[in-house]
Structure 1
Amino acid sequence: MKWNWQSPDWPNFKWNRSRLSAAEEQFLLGAGIAIGTVKHLAEDEHNQLLVEVMSGEAVTTSAIEGEVLNRASVQSSILRQLGLASPDKRRAMPAEEGIAEMMVDLYRSFSNPLSDEMLFGWHRMLTTGRKDLADIGRYRTSKEPMQVISGRIGAPIVHFEAPPSKQVPAEMKRFISWFNRTAPQGKEALPAITRAGAAHLFFESIHPFEDGNGRIGRAIAEKAMPQSFGQPVLVSLATTILEHQKNYYEALERANKQIDITEWLLWFAGIALEAQRRSIAQVEFLIAKAKMMNGLRGQINERQRKALLRMFREGPEGFKGGLSAGNYSTITGASPATTTRDLADLAEKGALRRTGERKHARYALNLKQE
């Protein structure tokens, strides 16, 4: 046996449940925290969170496959598809429009059973505008082997070979049945991380589409996790995987050769927990933003407000190296003397924390203020 699907035990994956129990408990606890924290968001802030997480996942799940998308265009498309007003009238490219549409559909239909029709719909969205594919909105039909390869032409390295196309419909029927049986209300319900990780590997092992398997496989994992909690809990899975991209591909390659997937699930559990922490931090960041801006209402000028909002757009990590006086002047158009006064005032009011002196002074958002 070279690949897992060639094993006589396929697709009866095995894993050590006890080694995953601590991660499952931690993820369940984190989901409760995430759900509770989101309830503190006003409607506008909740919509902002939705758009930021979905656009982040859209851009990063594409980046994992080497496709660079414009985040602002993706956000604008998501806003339109959610029925929210978008001040950005830019025209999204087909790839940006398609992945945005898939993310919105994934969010809205998270509780629905998986089906061929749902997967075909996602594939059509992902391949919007593509003219180079023979099979769009259906499983692959090519007689050529479906391989994941690297290396130079003439001496390729085969990292994985999927089942022949003629086997795909039967394999997908089995996969979809398994996915729906292992849902929380199914006959063989599985814990959140275990189900999401196993589903992602199961799907990738079949590689049923001519292209787009990675993005759809990660979407399936992101569908599985919130189903365990009965509501669309946002988890920045693709964003986190991108930061561990090399390890991700290595872990998948090892798992594609085994029926015992304990090590793969342990690796995936670490990613899922990190993604969950990232999502919770994003919610807490939006709450801190609302608290700060409400507290400063009527106390700061328009320049200061513009600079703070620009800093918040950088996300929880903030400006790399901190905000300098030069950054502030660029953002607001203020003179050096006005910049010095504005920044000193924001620091005195507790909105910013300063490190360094004079030319080396840098400012960061003070989100820990009481």
Structure 2
Amino acid sequence: MPWNWQKPDWPAFRWEHERLDNAEKQFLVNGGVFVGTIRHLTKQEHDQLTVEAMSTEAMTTSEIEGEILDRASVQSALRKQLGLATDERPVRPAERGIAEMMVDLYRSLADPLSEEMLFRWHRMVMSGSRNLRDVGLYRTGAEPMQVVSGPIGEARVHFEAPPSARVPSEMKRFIGWFNRTAPGREEPLSALTRAGIAHLHFESIHPLEDGNGRIGRAIAEKALAQSLGQPTLTALAATILARRKNYYDALEAANKGNESTHWLMWFAGVAIEAQRRTIALVEFLIDKAKLLDRLKGHLNVRQEKALLSMFREGPEGFKGGLAAGKYSTITGASPATTTRDLADLVGKGALVREGERRYARYHLSVPLRPVPHVTLTEHGEIAEG
């Protein structure tokens, strides 16, 4: 079966607009909710949101590709790039590079897409890589660019991209299309449709020797932010990571033709879920600030360390809650001290206890906000779960 770029209608992607109408409207409504919510943040809280959201995206977009990064190092690099106070810890090239790309994406959302921008992002993402021939430029290898899985001799080809010789012309056409379809330009497209097609189109060309997934998701983020006219800090990669197998399956199916309705419906569900994750994070940070402000001066060092550790788990909290043993591990406290500290935190309204004795588990007293999966039905209705 030929791939989408081998079809005579390439790259004339087409889709059923009416099946995306509800999702497009919901995305714009959620964008308004996000803007309204962040107005309640102080500058310090806004900076914290920016670092938390960007570090999560940096780590998860890398984890999708099998690269595990250190959160503290990513956050340190982000804070430095953003001009915020940092602990000046040593940071590996991988963490520094992805942080640089996230900040560049954040700051250049209104700028047109260009080869120079893509090559700059590629140099950042590939920082420290020693096994690539083509860094900061399109791939030039003569061998086929394939996405494969399975052992040698039994490998399954999930996709094969256009030959390297075609990449410059394909990318010139893609970049032109991306800029023409931006809000206020000649051929504006709605937010989710443009972001979804942009990601699919870029991944179908697969123009780089490595890093296509991370940069392709950054392009989708850029499209979503441009549609709302400001950085959205959308948790797109974090949401895709939670559905990684479905993501690859959906892309593989979409790579076989240029009728893209099902891909766009899948992408729209992910984008709306990602928005909800970001809004939940903002509300969580507001609750965190209120609780810590109320408890200021009333916690010992151990208690503060444990609470901050719980807050770092985000709006969904520790799985199963905090056990006494976990508290001891975090703080180094003895069993007797742990018991007293936890009872005191419950008494001060910082934690809520469930269960008794060795079955006791502790949860933050702020509302936890797990975000269910969002999908679109065949008729374009938004469904949860």
- TM (norm. structure 1) is 0.95
Residues 130-209 of structure 1 aligned to structure 2 (within 5 Å): 130-209=129-208
Residues 177-256 of structure 1 aligned to structure 2 (within 5 Å): 177-256=176-255
Q: Structure 1 CA distance, aligned partners of 2:71 and 2:307?
A: 21
- 1:63 equivalent in alignment to 2:63: yes
Please say which of residues 332-341 and 118-127 is displaced more in the overlay. 332-341
Q: Structure 2 CA distance, aligned partners of 1:97 and 1:54?
A: 13
Deviation track 1:25-72 (CA, whole Å, cap 9, x = no partner) reads 111111111111111111111111111111111111111111122222
Q: What's the counterpart of residue 126 of structure 1?
A: 125
Q: What's the counterpart of residue 365 of structure 1?
A: 364
Q: What's the counterpart of residue 342 of structure 2?
A: 343
Deviation track 1:105-157 (CA, whole Å, cap 9, x = no partner) reads 01111111100100010111111122222211111111211111112212321
- 1:330 equivalent in alignment to 2:329: yes
Deviation track 1:252-282 (CA, whole Å, cap 9, x = no partner) reads 0000011110000000011111111111111
Q: Structure 2 CA distance, aligned partners of 1:95 and 1:334?
A: 35
Q: Structure 2 CA distance, aligned partners of 1:333 and 1:247?
A: 41
Letter in 2 for 1:184: P
3-state SS, counterpart of residue 228 of structure 1:
helix
Letter in 2 for 1:284: E
Q: What's the counterpart of residue 43 of structure 1?
A: 43
Q: CA deviation at 1:99?
A: 1.0
Please say which of residues 360-369 and 196-205 is displaced more in the overlay. 360-369
3-state SS, counterpart of residue 247 of structure 2:
helix
Q: What's the counterpart of residue 104 of structure 2?
A: 105
Residues 282-361 of structure 1 aligned to structure 2 (within 5 Å): 282-361=281-360
Q: What's the counterpart of residue 15 of structure 2?
A: 15
Q: CA deviation at 1:333?
A: 4.1
Q: Structure 2 CA distance, aligned partners of 1:334 and 1:128?
A: 41
Q: Alpha carbons of 1:12 and 1:295: their partners in 2 closer, same or farther (altered >3 Å)?
A: same
Q: Alpha carbons of 1:83 and 1:3: their partners in 2 closer, same or farther (altered >3 Å)?
A: same
Runs of 4+ in 1 over 6 A off after TM superposition: none
Q: Alpha carbons of 1:130 and 1:340: their partners in 2 closer, same or farther (altered >3 Å)?
A: closer
3-state SS, counterpart of residue 363 of structure 1:
strand
- TM (norm. structure 2) is 0.92
Letter in 2 for 1:243: A
Q: Structure 1 CA distance, aligned partners of 2:344 and 2:112?
A: 55
Q: CA deviation at 1:331?
A: 3.2
Q: Structure 2 CA distance, aligned partners of 1:2 and 1:368?
A: 51
Q: CA deviation at 1:335?
A: 4.2
Q: Alpha carbons of 1:154 and 1:304: their partners in 2 closer, same or farther (altered >3 Å)?
A: closer
Which ranges in structure 2 are unaligned for 5 or more consecutive residues?
A: 369-385
Q: Structure 1 CA distance, aligned partners of 2:334 and 2:168?
A: 66
Quote the sequence identity (%): 67
Deviation track 1:318-356 (CA, whole Å, cap 9, x = no partner) reads 222211223333333444444333322322332211100
Q: Structure 2 CA distance, aligned partners of 1:295 and 1:164?
A: 61
Deviation track 1:200-242 (CA, whole Å, cap 9, x = no partner) reads 0000011111111111100100111010111101111111111
Letter in 2 for 1:259: N
Letter in 2 for 1:5: W
Q: Structure 1 CA distance, aligned partners of 2:86 and 2:173?
A: 42
Please say which of residues 96-105 and 329-338 is displaced more in the overlay. 329-338
Q: Structure 2 CA distance, aligned partners of 1:335 and 1:62?
A: 38
Letter in 1 for 2:269: G
Q: Structure 2 CA distance, aligned partners of 1:202 and 1:186?
A: 19
Q: What's the counterpart of residue 94 of structure 2?
A: 95
Q: Structure 1 CA distance, aligned partners of 2:299 and 2:346?
A: 12
When the two chains are superposed, the root-mean-square deviation of aligned CA atoms in Å is 1.6
Q: Alpha carbons of 1:24 and 1:338: their partners in 2 closer, same or farther (altered >3 Å)?
A: same
Deviation track 1:281-339 (CA, whole Å, cap 9, x = no partner) reads 11111000001111222444443333222221222222222112233333334444443
Which ranges in structure 1 are unaligned for 5 or more consecutive residues?
A: none
Letter in 2 for 1:57: E
Q: Alpha carbons of 1:5 and 1:318: their partners in 2 closer, same or farther (altered >3 Å)?
A: same
